[in-house]
Homo-oligomer: A and B are copies of this chain.
């Protein structure tokens, strides 16, 4: 507690962080089903039972990884939220932030989105996922205030969240890593734009220029 960095200086250095990193890397490489506590321990250079000491069990480790992912996502969304006052631009920035974060953290997102091994009542998990949700909510409120005063904010939030999450999934970002990160990223950028347009104007609305 004396030094700033000393907080994380254990025998190993900082095992919890190393274990999370190893887990993210492993899942990004082999997919969620390729995960194993023992392999993670091996990669971090510790014995097979070391993870249990910090995270209890598999669920504990994966939950912690998911919380870390939501924390990163929340930061990105909050930044996007303040990037513009125009509701369309703001939502677009949010979509880009979501997708970019997913691309940069495939191992995290694989456990964040759908994973029955994650405890979604965990404190830090709840805090960070709520922070992400609230950033989205603020974007939707901008839309309500400037475009449609009668908009049901809750319904719209669920709608946007589901849509963007579905997009990330459909793009195959969650299984094995996209080896063609380049082309994936390019087509995703287009998708984000068409999604944003459709979310705001709907399928019956006028088309973009």
Contacts and interface: CB of A to CB of B under 8 A. Distances in A.
B116 A203 contact: no
Contacts of A194: 152, 155, 159
Interface in A25-39: 31-34
Contact of A203 (B151, B166, B167): B151
The contact size tier of chain A is 35 or more
A163 B169 contact: no
Nearest to A144: B203
Interface in A157-180: 158-159, 161-167, 169-170, 174-176
Nearest to A174: B114
A202 interface: yes
Contacts of A164: 162, 166
The prevalent SS among residues of A at the interface is: helix
A17 to B, nearest CB: 25
B155 A166 contact: no
Given A155-B191, A158-B170, A161-B170, 4 more contacts: A114-B175, A158-B167, A159-B203, A202-B205
A165 B169 contact: yes
A150 interface: yes
B116 A176 contact: yes
A113 B114 contact: yes
Contacts of A167: 158, 162
Nearest to A148: B204
A199 B155 CA distance: 12
A148 B204 CA distance: 5
A22 interface: no
A19 interface: no
